[in-house]
């Protein structure tokens, strides 16, 4: 006499709930990544109609307190040329993107341009400085 149970247990694992979790996490990270500001240094860039796209090698920031930053590291005016030189080492034709607050006097911008020009003279390179702007509305 063979008695069989009516309730059979399934040993298969359902992946439906796991895929739902993956999609929810994907949506969460996509939404939160757009809220993160790509610039750590807050600047009010001057506005312009021109569109110049260049591959940036080094980014130099000048904030409204007239402090220089290369990347996110603060640099004194005396160290500026040496730090840019180290960042451009081994390159012949690179771009230095200058993001200066619109309240910064022009002399601070000229200091960065002079530093890059001195590096060009020293190594006979063709680095250029591009001033970053925001589009006019």
pLDDT of 19-28, one tens digit each?
A: 888 999 999 8
Residue 95: DSSP 8-state: E
pLDDT of 43-98, one tens digit each?
A: 777 777 877 666 778 999 999 999 999 988 999 999 999 999 999 998 999 999 99
Taking the domains of the chain in order of start, what are their residue ranges?
47-135
DSSP lists the bridge partners of residue 69 as 61, 74
Q: What pLDDT is recorded for position 78?
A: 95
Q: Which of 66, 61, 48 is nearest to 103 (CA)?
A: 66
Name 57's Cβ contacts closer than 8 Å, sequence gap at least 6: 87, 88, 91, 94, 95, 96
Q: What pLDDT is recorded for position 38?
A: 59
- Token pair in block for residue 103: 């309240």
* CB-based burial, 40-60: b 16+ in 10 Å, e otherwise: ebebeeeeeeeeeeeeeebbb
CATH number of 47-135: 3.30.420
- Put simply, whether the predicted model's pTM sits higher than 0.75 gets the answer no
- CA pair distance 123, 132, nearest whole angstrom: 25
């Amino acid at each position: 006499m063979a008695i069989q149970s009516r309730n059979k247990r399934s040993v298969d694992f359902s992946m439906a709930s796991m895929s739902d979790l993956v999609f929810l996490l994907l949506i969460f990270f996509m939404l939160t990544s757009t809220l993160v500001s790509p610039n750590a240094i807050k600047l009010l860039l001057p506005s312009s109609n021109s569109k110049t796209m260049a591959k940036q090698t080094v980014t130099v920031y000048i904030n409204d307190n007239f402090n220089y930053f290369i990347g996110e590291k603060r640099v004194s005016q005396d160290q500026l040329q040496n730090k840019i030189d180290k960042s451009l080492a081994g390159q012949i034709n690179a771009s230095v993107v200058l993001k200066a607050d619109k309240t910064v006097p022009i002399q601070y911008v000229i200091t960065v341009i002079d530093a890059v020009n001195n590096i060009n003279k020293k190594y006979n390179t063709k680095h250029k400085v591009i001033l970053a702007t925001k589009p006019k509305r």
